[in-house]
Structure 1
Amino acid sequence: MLQNVLRVACMGVWLAGATVASAQEAVPTPADIYGELFKDVQLNAVFPDSKSFTDALPNRPPERILSEYRQLKGQPGFDLKKFVAERFSPPPNVASDFHTVAGQDVRHHIDALWKVLERKPEDQREYTSRIALPYRYIVPGGRFNEIYYWDSYFTMQGLEESGRHDLTMDMIANFGWLIDQFGHIPNGNRSYFLSRSQPPFFAAMIELAADEEGESVYKKYLPQLIREYQFWMDGASALKPGSSHRRVVKLADGTVLNRYYDDRNVPREEAYKEDVATAKVAGSPEIYRNLRAAAESGWDFSSRWFAGKELATIHTTDLIPPDLNSLLYQLERTIAKGCEVTADTSCAKEMKGKAEARKAAITKYLWNTKAGAFTDYDWRAKKLSPQVTAATVYPLYFNAASKEQGKAVATTVRTTLLKPHGVATTTVSSGEQWDAPNGWAPLQWLAIKGLKNYGEEQLAATIAQRWVGKNLQVFKATGKLVEKYDVLSDQAGGGGEYPLQDGFGWTNGVLRKLLAMYPKLAE
């Protein structure tokens, strides 16, 4: 049975008496380390970007800095910005100084850029919030100088096309290591990310690797796949109908589905002043957890999570999303595959059963017949969201939709989300970055491949043509590939908590993959 496999998988991972929780708590965050200095720096906007201080590098031991702050802060003429500038170096802006070769083919540009975005174990610095990883990895670029969980799956699509399978495997090994250390893959390898994960693409990464590695990769990473599943399903067996625990919800009829969550209910350290400001408007003690849960979703932020029209109405933990549950369907199927490879027939049967039950539940609770799309389900209000978003393509990508649903989603994408330069994230223009008019590389890839899975080749090709065209237009004009794009106009993407970033990991990966699938688009 799965429980027996899980017990074996966990043996030898932890030192005597250690737990996942204690492992997380053993890694102090910047707020833990700097106390009142951290709050004062963030609330007084010493850095224009709140993430800068969480990633800054101190030039002396933190305890000494904090002691000096306590001694000096009450003195006449104390200058907080000067104090910080003398003791910290701001984090680098990754790839900002990378110069594009004039007239260079974008594929050669991407291949060269991987070296700029690559980080090695020896790159680790003392007193940093970044958690050292044992193998090489790719960072997105710009302000993002750490590995990100779901970004990496889309980055890997391009690495494979660039002949960098070795780097794909190193990144997968890092994720396996993180599961062994902390019981899950955090949002990124920063201490302040340990309380949450991101969309669980680890199983999809293993499936991608199997194209080169063969079925042995399922056996190698089966213990980590099972442990990630345990993280997402924690508390499910003890739940009563109509209740929730962490990332699991048990509905009134006993159906178990998942939501995004975060184990902490305090301001995000990398967006501290922004979250404090939002909380003042909201007046809700749970606002921080809902903001953090949206960060776990990767869609930080989007009107799909709002009860009203503004960020202060966010209620992410009330919503059961089709994207997350499609990913967990894939995880259940991948564990079943691993159990088959290891000849554990009882485990394989059990996990196939769980996957089929989830597939049925996705249709029962997340299929919105009126919208012709998979939409979020508010489990507290017991109703489907009417809002159509690009998350509707996830069940197609992971083959969790029926043929009829696939056809309906194609119609909805074509009539509602398809824009001149690709698929819009939502139909709402809220000023948040995961809303219209922005389009994002991962959602284009999921839509294209998902539609192809259901025989919608022409629509998939149209999306690819429009998205690649936009990427190349901006690249030819600026020499840059950026984080997100405006799919309605000729402008670059915008909105959100920080300026548009260039680099950019998942844009590079998806574009490199699409140009291999549709080579004529490069002409």
Structure 2
Amino acid sequence: MIFHLNIQDTLSKLLHQEDTDGDKKITIEDKGLKTFVVKTTSGEDYIIKGTYHLSNLLQELAIAKLEGCNVAKIPLSKIEEPPVTRISRLIKDYFWEALTRTMDKNGVEDLIHDTKNESLTSSKLRIYIPYQDSVAFNYYKNLESSLPIETIQLPENVTPQFVKSINIKPGILSLKLQENNGLIEGVPFVVPGGRFNEMYGWDSYFESVGLLIDGKVELSKAMADNFQYEIEYYGKILNANRSYYLTRTQPPFYTSLIKEVFELAKDKTWLKSHLQTAIKEYETVWMVKGKRLTDNELNRYLAEGIGLPPECEEGHFDTVLKPFADALNMSVRDYEKRYAEGAISNDALDIYFTHDRTVRESGHDTSYRIEGHCADLNLVELNAMLYKYERDFSEIIESEFNGEFQGYTTTYWKDKAKTRKKAVDKYLWNDSKGLYFDFNVITNQQSQFIGATTLIPLWANLCSEHQANKLVKTAIPLLKEKGGIAGSTKASIEMVSKNQPQRQWDYPNGWAPHQMIIWKGLLNYGFVEEAQELIYRWLFMITKSVVDYNGTIPEKYNVVEATHKVYAEYGNVGTNFQYISQGGFGWMNASYQYGLSLLKQEYIKKLNNLIEPKLIF
């Protein structure tokens, strides 16, 4: 059955009747009739019933309108489409495209209107170019005649002091350009969504997991190519390609990305090039003693910027600055300005902001697990990720390069991994508690904070069978909630943050990358049913939100209440839209596709019928 509907007329009537709170969405909070009559092509009345089906009608009308139609031809099968099928289809057919960007002329035109640029002191968008990239410099210089941009070449040696000097002149960093039929075009990348229009570090890996499942191999390959560009030209995979991120990297997932792309693309020349760059990143970003490598042969994050992180909104650090401002009888704003300019020196604040920036480099911004001492911590997840780097190098060199690659042997990397595992077992594993804990290199003590990150060694195959069994038996019951794994235990939050505001990476919130890593880790060690339950809980929460809230797929969830109504810092990207979600959220989309690829058919059927997890497990 197909309905031929006048888009504007139907939209007006549908919203007038059903959108009682006026937000251009149809949700369970609207007080409409929950039934809407449309005409079939034969002139008969057909009644569409329920929030989910009505919101689907609204979305299909919006899609047809965006395609420039006046009359929408909507099949009943799309209005009454099973929710799991619909969510996965929209992600594959619409959301990835909506989140794809480039740094060529078309992409720059979109960036000019980015809300982050509204406060710029210049009317032009600054585009910073690496010192060595003359192709990019000439390309953007030529664009200056047609677009309000300013092309700025970075110095050959980019120091923290230099980055601080341009924080009052923020801009975007160029990414990879390529020639196609004589024309220069940007190598595409996927952004998280909402207010984020840059290529982010670890987001890009998780997005690529979803892209590969959806057959978008070339786009995943392009993401890796942009990673390579960042390492070769900026010295690291960036937090994101904004000028104030030049001193800050992100959790290391590069080898995972190139391995997974290669499994499908089978391009050995491409693999060779990326393997060389990945080893360079490992050696120069992670293994420099006194920086991100500590004396115990484990790693830490260390963002090397200076002063206040400029991406934070005014007032974010007022409670930190106020005691110092009061001591000098100054306003907070005046103190902040003079400290930023260097007119006031403050060693305590310098240390505070080193830790704060390092929290942001870790990707877990923010969490009481690491707040205030992040640069002093050998984090469980970072060392698990680097162990996987070492294992990946060994496996790639053995399987594809006959055991030797540019002076590196399979044995060399196996030994590196063994050395790291020995240090992890000594400093991070707590056998009596059956958990991995972060280790503070200043106090020489393990943290007692239990986060979802305690399970990440499973993903890296870092655990012995004994450790894996003990870890799963101990950690899953502590962290499992209605909607999946929480960022931390409630007890850990109560231990460190009484009467303090929530941090978004902590209890009661849950995040897509944690879920995806933990599912894979459980499967690595044969914990199939445990993985199936956690996948189902997470996908149920997303599916229920989509059904009840007009297709909402946000950045994060409160997994305790299994709701997208998260009341923590920065809001919840992906909830502010009209008619239809504009791309969902990158790694949330990926987690849905990845979870579906792992979930047994019997559970997918139950998921379509929205059967509560507590009735199954």
Structure with bigger strand share is 2
Corresponding residue for 1:472?
543
Corresponding residue for 2:614?
none
Q: Secondary structure at the match of 1:300?
A: coil
Q: Which residue, 363, 370, 377 being the options, matches 2:425? A: 363
Choose 398-407 or 265-274, whichever is displaced more. Answer: 265-274
The alpha-carbon deviation at position 462 of structure 1 amounts to 0.5
1:458 and 1:329 map into 2 onto residues whose CA distance is 26
Does the 8 A contact of 2:103 with 2:174 survive in 1? yes
1:185 and 1:281 map into 2 onto residues whose CA distance is 35
Normalised to the residue count of structure 1, the TM-score between the two structures is 0.74
2:349 and 2:427 map into 1 onto residues whose CA distance is 28
Corresponding residue for 1:248?
293
The alpha-carbon deviation at position 509 of structure 1 amounts to 0.5
CA deviation string 1:466-498 (max 9, x = no partner): 000000011112211111111111432524431
- For 1:175-186, list aligned pairs within 5 A: 175-186=227-238
Corresponding residue for 1:486?
558
CA deviation string 1:422-460 (max 9, x = no partner): 000101455000001101111011111101111111111
Corresponding residue for 1:106?
87
Corresponding residue for 2:306?
265
1:225 and 1:325 map into 2 onto residues whose CA distance is 16
The alpha-carbon deviation at position 183 of structure 1 amounts to 1.6
2:565 and 2:433 map into 1 onto residues whose CA distance is 27
Matched, 1:423 2:404: no
2:88 and 2:568 map into 1 onto residues whose CA distance is 29
Corresponding residue for 2:326?
none
Matched, 1:294 2:359: yes
Change (3 A) 1:380 1:109: same
2:387 partner amino acid: Y
Matched, 1:375 2:427: no
1:304 and 1:154 map into 2 onto residues whose CA distance is 23
Matched, 1:513 2:594: yes
The alpha-carbon deviation at position 234 of structure 1 amounts to 4.6
Corresponding residue for 2:20?
none
Corresponding residue for 1:451?
522
2:452 and 2:562 map into 1 onto residues whose CA distance is 21
1:446 partner amino acid: I
1:277 and 1:103 map into 2 onto residues whose CA distance is 50
2:472 and 2:189 map into 1 onto residues whose CA distance is 35
Corresponding residue for 1:277?
318
1:265 and 1:303 map into 2 onto residues whose CA distance is 22
Matched, 1:501 2:554: no
Corresponding residue for 2:173?
131
CA deviation string 1:175-210 (max 9, x = no partner): 111111112111011111111111010011012112
2:216 and 2:222 map into 1 onto residues whose CA distance is 10
CA deviation string 1:236-290 (max 9, x = no partner): 2xxxxxxxx2211103xxxx11101111131111115355425326853211111
Corresponding residue for 1:347?
408
CA deviation string 1:29-74 (max 9, x = no partner): xxxxxxxxxxxxxxxxxxxxxxxxxxxxxxxxxxxxxxxxxxxxxx
2:91 and 2:386 map into 1 onto residues whose CA distance is 31
The alpha-carbon deviation at position 235 of structure 1 amounts to 3.0
Does the 8 A contact of 1:423 with 1:439 survive in 2? yes
The alpha-carbon deviation at position 338 of structure 1 amounts to 4.4
1:406 and 1:198 map into 2 onto residues whose CA distance is 26
Change (3 A) 1:516 1:228: same
Q: Which residue, 412, 418, 429 being the options, matches 2:474? A: 412
Corresponding residue for 1:393?
455
The alpha-carbon deviation at position 461 of structure 1 amounts to 0.6
Q: Secondary structure at the match of 2:172?
A: coil
Q: Which residue, 112, 115, 120 being the options, matches 2:97? A: 115
Does the 8 A contact of 2:379 with 2:438 survive in 1? yes
Change (3 A) 1:275 1:292: farther
Change (3 A) 1:437 1:260: same
Matched, 1:433 2:504: yes
Change (3 A) 1:259 1:330: same
1:510 partner amino acid: S
Does the 8 A contact of 2:307 with 2:350 survive in 1? no
1:360 partner amino acid: K
The size of the alignment, in residue pairs, is 409
Does the 8 A contact of 2:573 with 2:585 survive in 1? yes
CA deviation string 1:405-434 (max 9, x = no partner): 111121123320001110001014550000
Where structure 1 has 5 or more consecutive residues not aligned to the other structure, the ranges are: 1-95, 237-244, 307-313
Does the 8 A contact of 2:368 with 2:506 survive in 1? yes
Where structure 2 has 5 or more consecutive residues not aligned to the other structure, the ranges are: 1-58, 64-77, 110-124, 128-170, 177-186, 324-347, 494-500, 575-583, 609-617
1:265 and 1:351 map into 2 onto residues whose CA distance is 35
Structure 1 outlier segments of 4+, above 6 Å:
none
Does the 8 A contact of 2:541 with 2:563 survive in 1? no
1:470 partner amino acid: M
Choose 494-503 or 414-423, whichever is displaced more. Answer: 494-503
2:319 and 2:467 map into 1 onto residues whose CA distance is 38
Does the 8 A contact of 2:217 with 2:265 survive in 1? no
1:194 and 1:390 map into 2 onto residues whose CA distance is 28
The alpha-carbon deviation at position 233 of structure 1 amounts to 3.2
Structure with bigger helix share is 1
The alpha-carbon deviation at position 370 of structure 1 amounts to 3.3
Normalised to the residue count of structure 2, the TM-score between the two structures is 0.63
- For 1:182-197, list aligned pairs within 5 A: 182-197=234-249
Does the 8 A contact of 1:371 with 1:388 survive in 2? no
Change (3 A) 1:281 1:250: farther
2:209 and 2:80 map into 1 onto residues whose CA distance is 24
The alpha-carbon deviation at position 143 of structure 1 amounts to 1.4
2:287 and 2:561 map into 1 onto residues whose CA distance is 44
Change (3 A) 1:99 1:494: farther
Does the 8 A contact of 1:124 with 1:132 survive in 2? no
Q: Percent identity of the aligned residues?
A: 31
Corresponding residue for 2:391?
333
CA deviation string 1:293-338 (max 9, x = no partner): 00011111111114xxxxxxx1111111110011111112223344
Q: Which residue, 268, 276, 280 being the options, matches 1:223? A: 276
Change (3 A) 1:305 1:408: same
1:102 and 1:194 map into 2 onto residues whose CA distance is 47
Does the 8 A contact of 2:502 with 2:569 survive in 1? no
Change (3 A) 1:456 1:142: same
Does the 8 A contact of 2:482 with 2:562 survive in 1? no
2:560 and 2:544 map into 1 onto residues whose CA distance is 14
Give the CA RMSD over aligned residues: 2.3
Change (3 A) 1:166 1:359: same
Corresponding residue for 1:18?
none
